[in-house]
Structure 1
Amino acid sequence: MDPKKPTAPWDRRLGAGEERKIFDHLPNHLYFVKNEKLQLISANRAFLDRCGYSEVEEIIGLTDRELFPLELAEKYRQDDLRVLESGQPLNGIIELFPNRIGDPEWFITDKIPLRDDHGAIIGLCGVVRSYERTRIELQPYLDLRGVVEYLKQHFAEPISMKDLASKLGISTRQLERRFRATFNTSPRQYTLKLRILKACELLAGTSMSVTEIALATGFYDHSAFSRRFRSTMNMTPADYRRRNSRYRRALKRPLQPEADSEDPRH
Protein backbone atom coordinates (compact mmCIF):
# COMPACT_ATOMS: atom_id res chain seq x y z
CA MET A 1 0.00 0.00 0.00
CA ASP A 2 1.19 3.50 -0.80
CA PRO A 3 2.40 4.91 2.57
CA LYS A 4 1.23 8.36 1.50
CA LYS A 5 -2.38 7.16 1.39
CA PRO A 6 -3.83 7.27 4.93
CA THR A 7 -7.20 5.60 4.23
CA ALA A 8 -6.79 2.23 5.95
CA PRO A 9 -4.98 3.46 9.10
CA TRP A 10 -7.40 6.37 9.34
CA ASP A 11 -10.40 4.05 9.07
CA ARG A 12 -9.06 1.92 11.91
CA ARG A 13 -8.67 5.01 14.12
CA LEU A 14 -12.17 6.27 13.40
CA GLY A 15 -14.49 5.79 16.34
CA ALA A 16 -17.66 3.73 15.91
CA GLY A 17 -20.52 5.87 14.64
CA GLU A 18 -18.38 8.97 14.04
CA GLU A 19 -19.23 9.12 10.34
CA ARG A 20 -22.96 9.34 11.06
CA LYS A 21 -22.68 12.46 13.21
CA ILE A 22 -23.19 14.71 10.21
CA PHE A 23 -26.74 13.36 9.98
CA ASP A 24 -27.45 14.53 13.51
CA HIS A 25 -27.01 18.08 12.24
CA LEU A 26 -29.13 17.78 9.10
CA PRO A 27 -32.66 18.87 9.97
CA ASN A 28 -35.52 16.66 8.81
CA HIS A 29 -33.22 13.85 7.62
CA LEU A 30 -33.51 10.31 9.00
CA TYR A 31 -30.44 8.12 8.50
CA PHE A 32 -30.12 4.36 9.08
CA VAL A 33 -27.77 1.44 8.40
CA LYS A 34 -28.81 -2.22 8.08
CA ASN A 35 -26.76 -5.40 7.76
CA GLU A 36 -27.34 -8.14 5.17
CA LYS A 37 -30.08 -9.61 7.39
CA LEU A 38 -31.88 -6.25 7.24
CA GLN A 39 -31.30 -5.67 10.94
CA LEU A 40 -30.63 -2.11 12.05
CA ILE A 41 -27.01 -1.44 12.92
CA SER A 42 -26.96 2.33 13.25
CA ALA A 43 -29.18 5.39 12.98
CA ASN A 44 -29.10 9.12 13.62
CA ARG A 45 -30.89 11.00 16.35
CA ALA A 46 -33.87 11.93 14.17
CA PHE A 47 -34.48 8.26 13.25
CA LEU A 48 -34.25 7.21 16.90
CA ASP A 49 -36.69 9.93 17.95
CA ARG A 50 -39.14 8.96 15.21
CA CYS A 51 -39.10 5.34 16.39
CA GLY A 52 -39.37 6.21 20.07
CA TYR A 53 -35.84 5.35 21.19
CA SER A 54 -33.21 7.42 22.96
CA GLU A 55 -29.99 5.47 22.29
CA VAL A 56 -28.73 3.77 19.14
CA GLU A 57 -27.91 0.63 21.13
CA GLU A 58 -31.64 0.11 21.68
CA ILE A 59 -32.41 -0.38 17.98
CA ILE A 60 -29.42 -2.51 17.01
CA GLY A 61 -30.67 -5.87 15.73
CA LEU A 62 -34.26 -4.75 15.22
CA THR A 63 -36.00 -5.08 11.85
CA ASP A 64 -38.64 -2.89 10.23
CA ARG A 65 -41.34 -5.38 11.26
CA GLU A 66 -40.60 -4.55 14.89
CA LEU A 67 -40.81 -0.81 14.32
CA PHE A 68 -43.44 -0.07 11.69
CA PRO A 69 -46.89 -1.24 10.59
CA LEU A 70 -46.69 -4.56 8.76
CA GLU A 71 -47.74 -3.24 5.34
CA LEU A 72 -45.12 -0.47 5.47
CA ALA A 73 -42.42 -2.78 6.83
CA GLU A 74 -42.99 -5.23 3.97
CA LYS A 75 -42.60 -2.44 1.39
CA TYR A 76 -39.34 -1.31 3.01
CA ARG A 77 -38.12 -4.92 3.03
CA GLN A 78 -38.81 -5.41 -0.68
CA ASP A 79 -36.88 -2.25 -1.53
CA ASP A 80 -33.99 -3.32 0.72
CA LEU A 81 -33.81 -6.71 -1.01
CA ARG A 82 -33.68 -5.02 -4.40
CA VAL A 83 -30.65 -3.02 -3.26
CA LEU A 84 -28.90 -6.06 -1.79
CA GLU A 85 -29.60 -8.29 -4.79
CA SER A 86 -28.81 -5.77 -7.51
CA GLY A 87 -25.93 -4.03 -5.80
CA GLN A 88 -27.30 -0.76 -7.16
CA PRO A 89 -28.58 2.34 -5.36
CA LEU A 90 -32.31 2.92 -5.18
CA ASN A 91 -32.91 6.67 -5.18
CA GLY A 92 -35.94 8.91 -4.99
CA ILE A 93 -38.36 6.35 -3.57
CA ILE A 94 -41.57 8.20 -2.71
CA GLU A 95 -43.25 6.16 -0.01
CA LEU A 96 -45.31 6.35 3.14
CA PHE A 97 -43.41 6.63 6.40
CA PRO A 98 -44.81 7.28 9.90
CA ASN A 99 -44.57 10.93 10.96
CA ARG A 100 -43.91 12.08 14.53
CA ILE A 101 -47.39 11.12 15.73
CA GLY A 102 -47.36 7.78 13.94
CA ASP A 103 -49.57 8.68 10.98
CA PRO A 104 -48.32 7.73 7.48
CA GLU A 105 -46.95 10.66 5.52
CA TRP A 106 -45.19 10.86 2.16
CA PHE A 107 -41.40 10.76 2.37
CA ILE A 108 -38.50 10.48 -0.09
CA THR A 109 -36.00 7.67 0.56
CA ASP A 110 -32.57 6.97 -0.96
CA LYS A 111 -30.80 3.64 -0.34
CA ILE A 112 -27.33 2.43 -1.33
CA PRO A 113 -25.55 -0.91 -0.83
CA LEU A 114 -22.59 -1.20 1.54
CA ARG A 115 -19.62 -3.44 0.68
CA ASP A 116 -16.70 -4.94 2.57
CA ASP A 117 -13.03 -4.67 1.58
CA HIS A 118 -13.51 -7.49 -0.96
CA GLY A 119 -16.53 -5.95 -2.65
CA ALA A 120 -19.12 -8.25 -1.11
CA ILE A 121 -22.41 -6.58 -0.16
CA ILE A 122 -22.83 -6.63 3.61
CA GLY A 123 -25.76 -4.27 4.07
CA LEU A 124 -27.21 -0.94 3.07
CA CYS A 125 -27.75 2.56 4.35
CA GLY A 126 -30.45 5.07 3.61
CA VAL A 127 -31.69 8.61 4.12
CA VAL A 128 -35.37 9.49 4.56
CA ARG A 129 -36.72 13.04 4.27
CA SER A 130 -40.20 14.51 4.25
CA TYR A 131 -41.58 14.98 0.74
CA GLU A 132 -43.79 17.88 1.77
CA ARG A 133 -41.10 19.59 3.81
CA THR A 134 -38.59 19.12 0.99
CA ARG A 135 -41.05 20.65 -1.45
CA ILE A 136 -41.63 23.59 0.88
CA GLU A 137 -37.89 24.11 1.36
CA LEU A 138 -37.25 23.98 -2.39
CA GLN A 139 -40.13 26.22 -3.35
CA PRO A 140 -38.27 29.54 -2.94
CA TYR A 141 -35.55 28.25 -5.29
CA LEU A 142 -38.12 26.98 -7.76
CA ASP A 143 -39.92 30.32 -7.70
CA LEU A 144 -36.69 32.07 -8.71
CA ARG A 145 -35.52 29.41 -11.16
CA GLY A 146 -36.39 31.52 -14.22
CA VAL A 147 -34.45 34.48 -12.87
CA VAL A 148 -31.40 32.34 -12.02
CA GLU A 149 -31.39 30.69 -15.46
CA TYR A 150 -31.60 34.11 -17.10
CA LEU A 151 -28.64 35.35 -15.05
CA LYS A 152 -26.61 32.26 -15.97
CA GLN A 153 -27.25 32.77 -19.67
CA HIS A 154 -26.83 36.55 -19.77
CA PHE A 155 -24.32 37.28 -16.99
CA ALA A 156 -21.90 38.97 -19.41
CA GLU A 157 -24.55 41.46 -20.54
CA PRO A 158 -25.95 44.55 -18.80
CA ILE A 159 -28.87 43.29 -16.70
CA SER A 160 -31.84 45.37 -15.63
CA MET A 161 -33.23 44.47 -12.21
CA LYS A 162 -36.49 46.11 -13.26
CA ASP A 163 -36.80 43.77 -16.27
CA LEU A 164 -35.94 40.77 -14.08
CA ALA A 165 -38.59 41.71 -11.56
CA SER A 166 -41.18 42.13 -14.27
CA LYS A 167 -40.58 38.51 -15.34
CA LEU A 168 -41.97 37.50 -11.95
CA GLY A 169 -44.61 40.20 -11.84
CA ILE A 170 -43.12 41.77 -8.73
CA SER A 171 -41.33 44.99 -7.85
CA THR A 172 -37.56 45.42 -7.91
CA ARG A 173 -37.54 45.70 -4.12
CA GLN A 174 -39.49 42.45 -3.77
CA LEU A 175 -37.09 40.68 -6.13
CA GLU A 176 -34.09 41.89 -4.15
CA ARG A 177 -35.67 40.79 -0.87
CA ARG A 178 -36.74 37.34 -2.10
CA PHE A 179 -33.44 36.70 -3.87
CA ARG A 180 -31.41 37.63 -0.81
CA ALA A 181 -33.61 35.54 1.49
CA THR A 182 -33.15 32.51 -0.79
CA PHE A 183 -29.51 32.80 -1.89
CA ASN A 184 -28.09 35.02 0.86
CA THR A 185 -26.88 37.50 -1.75
CA SER A 186 -28.33 40.07 -4.14
CA PRO A 187 -28.99 39.44 -7.85
CA ARG A 188 -26.14 41.83 -8.74
CA GLN A 189 -23.65 40.07 -6.45
CA TYR A 190 -24.81 36.69 -7.77
CA THR A 191 -24.17 37.93 -11.33
CA LEU A 192 -20.70 39.15 -10.40
CA LYS A 193 -19.89 35.75 -8.93
CA LEU A 194 -21.02 34.10 -12.17
CA ARG A 195 -18.68 36.42 -14.09
CA ILE A 196 -15.74 35.59 -11.83
CA LEU A 197 -16.50 31.87 -12.07
CA LYS A 198 -16.45 32.05 -15.87
CA ALA A 199 -13.27 34.12 -15.74
CA CYS A 200 -11.59 31.42 -13.64
CA GLU A 201 -12.56 28.86 -16.26
CA LEU A 202 -11.11 30.99 -19.07
CA LEU A 203 -7.91 31.79 -17.17
CA ALA A 204 -7.30 28.12 -16.49
CA GLY A 205 -8.38 26.66 -19.80
CA THR A 206 -7.53 29.20 -22.51
CA SER A 207 -4.69 31.45 -23.66
CA MET A 208 -6.95 34.51 -23.81
CA SER A 209 -5.40 37.67 -22.39
CA VAL A 210 -6.70 39.10 -19.14
CA THR A 211 -8.22 42.02 -21.03
CA GLU A 212 -10.01 39.67 -23.45
CA ILE A 213 -11.37 37.67 -20.51
CA ALA A 214 -12.49 40.85 -18.77
CA LEU A 215 -14.52 41.94 -21.79
CA ALA A 216 -15.86 38.43 -22.43
CA THR A 217 -17.24 38.20 -18.90
CA GLY A 218 -19.02 41.54 -18.85
CA PHE A 219 -16.45 43.88 -17.28
CA TYR A 220 -15.74 47.29 -18.77
CA ASP A 221 -11.97 46.98 -18.74
CA HIS A 222 -8.92 45.19 -17.40
CA SER A 223 -8.72 47.38 -14.30
CA ALA A 224 -12.33 46.87 -13.15
CA PHE A 225 -12.04 43.13 -13.74
CA SER A 226 -8.76 42.81 -11.83
CA ARG A 227 -10.12 44.71 -8.82
CA ARG A 228 -13.23 42.54 -8.65
CA PHE A 229 -11.25 39.34 -9.20
CA ARG A 230 -8.78 40.17 -6.44
CA SER A 231 -11.55 41.04 -3.96
CA THR A 232 -13.34 37.76 -4.71
CA MET A 233 -10.43 35.32 -5.12
CA ASN A 234 -7.79 37.03 -2.92
CA MET A 235 -5.30 36.95 -5.80
CA THR A 236 -4.81 38.61 -9.15
CA PRO A 237 -5.97 36.99 -12.41
CA ALA A 238 -2.32 36.43 -13.36
CA ASP A 239 -1.61 34.70 -10.05
CA TYR A 240 -4.67 32.49 -10.50
CA ARG A 241 -3.52 31.51 -13.99
CA ARG A 242 0.01 30.69 -12.79
CA ARG A 243 -1.21 28.60 -9.86
CA ASN A 244 -3.71 26.73 -11.99
CA SER A 245 -1.13 26.09 -14.69
CA ARG A 246 1.25 24.55 -12.15
CA TYR A 247 -1.59 22.39 -10.83
CA ARG A 248 -2.50 21.18 -14.32
CA ARG A 249 1.13 20.34 -15.08
CA ALA A 250 1.38 18.45 -11.80
CA LEU A 251 -1.64 16.35 -12.75
CA LYS A 252 -0.11 15.42 -16.09
CA ARG A 253 3.36 14.41 -14.90
CA PRO A 254 4.17 11.16 -12.99
CA LEU A 255 4.49 11.38 -9.22
CA GLN A 256 8.03 12.31 -8.15
CA PRO A 257 9.86 11.43 -4.94
CA GLU A 258 9.28 13.94 -2.19
CA ALA A 259 12.80 15.37 -2.57
CA ASP A 260 11.98 16.36 -6.15
CA SER A 261 8.80 18.23 -5.27
CA GLU A 262 8.26 21.86 -6.23
CA ASP A 263 10.29 24.53 -4.47
CA PRO A 264 8.29 25.28 -1.26
CA ARG A 265 9.11 28.97 -1.57
CA HIS A 266 6.49 29.09 -4.34
Structure 2
Amino acid sequence: MPNAESLSRWANLLADPVLLQHLFDKLPDAVFFVKDQTERYVMVNETLLARCGIAHKSDLIGRTAEEVFPAPLGAGYTAQDRQVLRTGREIQDRLELHMYPNGRQGWCLTFKTPLRERNGDVVGLVGISRDLHRPNEQHPEYGHLAEALDFLQTRFDEAVRLEELARKVGLSMDRFERLVSQVFHLTPRQLLTKIRIEAASRLLREGDEGIAAIAHACGYSDHSAFTRQFRSTVGVTPLAFRRSQP
Protein backbone atom coordinates (compact mmCIF):
# COMPACT_ATOMS: atom_id res chain seq x y z
CA MET A 1 0.00 0.00 0.00
CA PRO A 2 1.43 3.45 -0.91
CA ASN A 3 2.65 5.49 2.07
CA ALA A 4 1.70 9.12 2.75
CA GLU A 5 4.80 10.47 0.98
CA SER A 6 4.08 8.38 -2.12
CA LEU A 7 0.43 9.46 -2.19
CA SER A 8 1.45 13.12 -1.87
CA ARG A 9 3.85 12.73 -4.81
CA TRP A 10 1.14 11.18 -7.01
CA ALA A 11 -1.35 13.85 -5.95
CA ASN A 12 1.07 16.58 -7.04
CA LEU A 13 1.66 14.88 -10.39
CA LEU A 14 -2.05 14.48 -11.09
CA ALA A 15 -2.76 18.09 -10.09
CA ASP A 16 -1.03 19.32 -13.25
CA PRO A 17 -3.70 21.37 -15.08
CA VAL A 18 -2.13 20.63 -18.48
CA LEU A 19 -2.46 16.90 -17.79
CA LEU A 20 -6.08 17.34 -16.67
CA GLN A 21 -7.00 19.19 -19.85
CA HIS A 22 -5.23 16.59 -21.98
CA LEU A 23 -7.13 13.76 -20.27
CA PHE A 24 -10.55 15.41 -20.51
CA ASP A 25 -9.94 16.36 -24.15
CA LYS A 26 -10.05 12.61 -24.87
CA LEU A 27 -13.67 12.28 -23.66
CA PRO A 28 -16.00 13.08 -26.58
CA ASP A 29 -19.12 12.30 -24.55
CA ALA A 30 -18.34 14.44 -21.51
CA VAL A 31 -18.09 18.20 -21.09
CA PHE A 32 -15.48 19.33 -18.55
CA PHE A 33 -14.93 22.82 -17.20
CA VAL A 34 -13.47 24.83 -14.35
CA LYS A 35 -14.86 28.27 -13.48
CA ASP A 36 -13.65 31.00 -11.15
CA GLN A 37 -15.70 32.73 -8.47
CA THR A 38 -17.20 35.11 -11.05
CA GLU A 39 -18.64 32.13 -12.99
CA ARG A 40 -16.11 32.55 -15.83
CA TYR A 41 -14.44 29.65 -17.61
CA VAL A 42 -10.78 29.15 -16.73
CA MET A 43 -10.37 25.61 -18.11
CA VAL A 44 -12.45 23.69 -20.68
CA ASN A 45 -12.15 20.57 -22.81
CA GLU A 46 -12.48 20.14 -26.56
CA THR A 47 -15.96 18.62 -26.24
CA LEU A 48 -17.33 21.84 -24.78
CA LEU A 49 -15.80 23.82 -27.64
CA ALA A 50 -17.44 21.52 -30.18
CA ARG A 51 -20.83 21.78 -28.46
CA CYS A 52 -20.62 25.56 -28.46
CA GLY A 53 -19.35 25.83 -32.03
CA ILE A 54 -16.19 27.63 -30.85
CA ALA A 55 -12.87 26.93 -32.53
CA HIS A 56 -10.30 27.82 -29.86
CA LYS A 57 -10.20 27.53 -26.09
CA SER A 58 -8.95 31.10 -25.86
CA ASP A 59 -12.28 32.25 -27.31
CA LEU A 60 -14.14 30.64 -24.39
CA ILE A 61 -11.82 31.32 -21.46
CA GLY A 62 -12.92 34.34 -19.44
CA ARG A 63 -16.54 34.18 -20.55
CA THR A 64 -19.60 33.06 -18.61
CA ALA A 65 -22.19 30.53 -19.76
CA GLU A 66 -24.60 33.45 -20.13
CA GLU A 67 -22.25 34.97 -22.71
CA VAL A 68 -21.80 31.70 -24.60
CA PHE A 69 -25.18 29.97 -24.65
CA PRO A 70 -28.30 31.51 -26.21
CA ALA A 71 -30.74 33.44 -24.07
CA PRO A 72 -32.43 32.57 -21.83
CA LEU A 73 -30.62 29.25 -21.40
CA GLY A 74 -27.21 30.73 -20.65
CA ALA A 75 -28.63 32.78 -17.80
CA GLY A 76 -30.00 29.60 -16.25
CA TYR A 77 -26.63 27.85 -16.40
CA THR A 78 -24.91 30.89 -14.85
CA ALA A 79 -27.52 31.03 -12.08
CA GLN A 80 -26.76 27.37 -11.32
CA ASP A 81 -23.03 28.17 -11.11
CA ARG A 82 -23.78 31.08 -8.79
CA GLN A 83 -25.79 28.80 -6.50
CA VAL A 84 -22.90 26.34 -6.16
CA LEU A 85 -20.45 29.16 -5.48
CA ARG A 86 -22.73 30.87 -2.96
CA THR A 87 -23.85 27.81 -1.00
CA GLY A 88 -20.76 25.65 -1.39
CA ARG A 89 -23.00 22.65 -2.08
CA GLU A 90 -22.48 20.12 -4.85
CA ILE A 91 -24.88 19.28 -7.65
CA GLN A 92 -24.83 15.52 -8.16
CA ASP A 93 -26.09 13.65 -11.23
CA ARG A 94 -28.71 16.25 -12.10
CA LEU A 95 -30.65 15.23 -15.18
CA GLU A 96 -30.55 18.10 -17.67
CA LEU A 97 -31.66 18.74 -21.22
CA HIS A 98 -28.91 20.83 -22.78
CA MET A 99 -29.42 22.98 -25.85
CA TYR A 100 -26.27 24.12 -27.58
CA PRO A 101 -25.72 27.17 -29.80
CA ASN A 102 -25.29 24.91 -32.86
CA GLY A 103 -28.90 23.74 -32.43
CA ARG A 104 -28.03 20.33 -31.00
CA GLN A 105 -29.93 19.05 -27.98
CA GLY A 106 -28.81 16.34 -25.63
CA TRP A 107 -29.60 14.79 -22.29
CA CYS A 108 -26.83 14.90 -19.71
CA LEU A 109 -26.12 14.05 -16.10
CA THR A 110 -24.36 17.04 -14.55
CA PHE A 111 -22.02 17.15 -11.57
CA LYS A 112 -20.65 20.39 -10.14
CA THR A 113 -18.56 20.81 -7.01
CA PRO A 114 -17.01 23.90 -5.41
CA LEU A 115 -13.26 24.44 -5.40
CA ARG A 116 -11.95 25.55 -2.02
CA GLU A 117 -8.78 27.11 -0.68
CA ARG A 118 -7.07 25.45 2.29
CA ASN A 119 -9.00 27.78 4.61
CA GLY A 120 -12.31 26.57 3.15
CA ASP A 121 -13.12 29.63 1.05
CA VAL A 122 -14.90 28.80 -2.23
CA VAL A 123 -12.86 30.21 -5.12
CA GLY A 124 -14.44 28.45 -8.08
CA LEU A 125 -16.08 25.26 -9.24
CA VAL A 126 -15.38 22.24 -11.40
CA GLY A 127 -18.04 20.46 -13.40
CA ILE A 128 -18.68 17.52 -15.69
CA SER A 129 -21.75 16.88 -17.85
CA ARG A 130 -21.86 13.31 -19.15
CA ASP A 131 -23.96 12.52 -22.21
CA LEU A 132 -26.84 10.18 -21.54
CA HIS A 133 -26.47 7.38 -24.07
CA ARG A 134 -29.15 5.26 -25.65
CA PRO A 135 -30.52 2.50 -23.41
CA ASN A 136 -28.59 -0.74 -23.46
CA GLU A 137 -31.11 -2.88 -25.32
CA GLN A 138 -28.59 -5.71 -25.43
CA HIS A 139 -28.70 -6.09 -21.67
CA PRO A 140 -29.76 -9.68 -20.94
CA GLU A 141 -32.62 -8.49 -18.74
CA TYR A 142 -33.83 -5.64 -20.93
CA GLY A 143 -37.03 -7.57 -21.58
CA HIS A 144 -37.99 -7.33 -17.92
CA LEU A 145 -38.31 -3.56 -18.35
CA ALA A 146 -40.22 -3.56 -21.65
CA GLU A 147 -43.66 -3.50 -20.05
CA ALA A 148 -42.64 -0.83 -17.55
CA LEU A 149 -41.10 1.33 -20.29
CA ASP A 150 -44.23 1.01 -22.44
CA PHE A 151 -46.34 2.09 -19.46
CA LEU A 152 -44.18 5.14 -18.81
CA GLN A 153 -44.08 6.19 -22.45
CA THR A 154 -47.83 5.89 -23.00
CA ARG A 155 -49.26 6.81 -19.60
CA PHE A 156 -46.85 9.42 -18.28
CA ASP A 157 -49.80 11.82 -18.02
CA GLU A 158 -51.13 9.76 -15.13
CA ALA A 159 -50.13 9.82 -11.46
CA VAL A 160 -47.40 7.19 -11.74
CA ARG A 161 -46.42 5.33 -8.57
CA LEU A 162 -43.11 3.68 -9.30
CA GLU A 163 -43.39 1.12 -6.50
CA GLU A 164 -46.71 -0.06 -7.94
CA LEU A 165 -45.24 -0.15 -11.44
CA ALA A 166 -42.37 -2.33 -10.23
CA ARG A 167 -44.84 -4.78 -8.67
CA LYS A 168 -46.95 -4.70 -11.82
CA VAL A 169 -44.03 -6.00 -13.90
CA GLY A 170 -43.04 -8.56 -11.28
CA LEU A 171 -40.01 -6.83 -9.80
CA SER A 172 -39.09 -5.65 -6.34
CA MET A 173 -38.36 -1.94 -6.13
CA ASP A 174 -34.68 -2.62 -5.44
CA ARG A 175 -34.39 -4.83 -8.52
CA PHE A 176 -36.39 -2.37 -10.62
CA GLU A 177 -34.06 0.47 -9.65
CA ARG A 178 -31.00 -1.66 -10.34
CA LEU A 179 -32.17 -2.71 -13.81
CA VAL A 180 -33.23 0.81 -14.80
CA SER A 181 -29.79 2.06 -13.74
CA GLN A 182 -28.00 -0.64 -15.74
CA VAL A 183 -30.09 -0.21 -18.88
CA PHE A 184 -30.92 3.52 -18.90
CA HIS A 185 -28.14 4.87 -16.63
CA LEU A 186 -30.85 6.69 -14.64
CA THR A 187 -32.99 6.20 -11.58
CA PRO A 188 -36.65 5.28 -12.26
CA ARG A 189 -37.67 8.79 -11.15
CA GLN A 190 -35.19 10.38 -13.56
CA LEU A 191 -36.47 8.17 -16.38
CA LEU A 192 -40.04 9.30 -15.73
CA THR A 193 -38.90 12.94 -15.56
CA LYS A 194 -37.02 12.57 -18.87
CA ILE A 195 -40.10 11.18 -20.62
CA ARG A 196 -42.35 13.92 -19.23
CA ILE A 197 -39.98 16.80 -19.99
CA GLU A 198 -39.41 15.53 -23.53
CA ALA A 199 -43.18 15.53 -24.07
CA ALA A 200 -43.54 18.98 -22.50
CA SER A 201 -40.73 20.40 -24.66
CA ARG A 202 -42.40 19.06 -27.78
CA LEU A 203 -45.76 20.59 -26.82
CA LEU A 204 -44.12 23.93 -26.02
CA ARG A 205 -42.33 23.98 -29.37
CA GLU A 206 -45.12 22.74 -31.60
CA GLY A 207 -48.38 23.82 -29.97
CA ASP A 208 -50.04 26.84 -28.43
CA GLU A 209 -51.66 25.27 -25.39
CA GLY A 210 -51.30 27.11 -22.11
CA ILE A 211 -48.64 26.11 -19.59
CA ALA A 212 -51.21 24.74 -17.14
CA ALA A 213 -52.73 22.53 -19.83
CA ILE A 214 -49.29 21.22 -20.83
CA ALA A 215 -48.46 20.54 -17.19
CA HIS A 216 -51.62 18.46 -16.84
CA ALA A 217 -50.99 16.65 -20.14
CA CYS A 218 -47.54 15.63 -18.89
CA GLY A 219 -48.66 14.24 -15.54
CA TYR A 220 -48.26 17.28 -13.31
CA SER A 221 -51.38 18.15 -11.33
CA ASP A 222 -49.61 21.22 -9.91
CA HIS A 223 -48.66 23.94 -12.39
CA SER A 224 -45.95 25.32 -10.10
CA ALA A 225 -44.44 21.86 -9.56
CA PHE A 226 -44.20 21.43 -13.34
CA THR A 227 -42.52 24.81 -13.71
CA ARG A 228 -39.97 23.98 -10.98
CA GLN A 229 -39.19 20.59 -12.54
CA PHE A 230 -38.90 22.03 -16.05
CA ARG A 231 -36.61 24.82 -14.87
CA SER A 232 -34.41 22.43 -12.90
CA THR A 233 -34.08 20.13 -15.92
CA VAL A 234 -33.89 22.58 -18.83
CA GLY A 235 -32.52 25.66 -17.09
CA VAL A 236 -35.41 27.99 -17.90
CA THR A 237 -39.14 28.21 -17.22
CA PRO A 238 -41.58 26.64 -19.70
CA LEU A 239 -42.67 30.11 -20.86
CA ALA A 240 -39.09 31.27 -21.40
CA PHE A 241 -38.36 28.05 -23.30
CA ARG A 242 -41.35 28.63 -25.58
CA ARG A 243 -40.31 32.20 -26.27
CA SER A 244 -36.77 31.10 -27.13
CA GLN A 245 -37.93 28.76 -29.90
CA PRO A 246 -37.49 29.96 -33.50
- TM-score, normalized by length of structure 2? 0.49
Highest relative contact order (Cα 8 Å, sep 6+), 1 or 2?
A: 2
- TM-score, normalized by length of structure 1? 0.46
Greater helix content: 1
User: Whose radius of gyration is greater, 1 or 2?
Assistant: 1
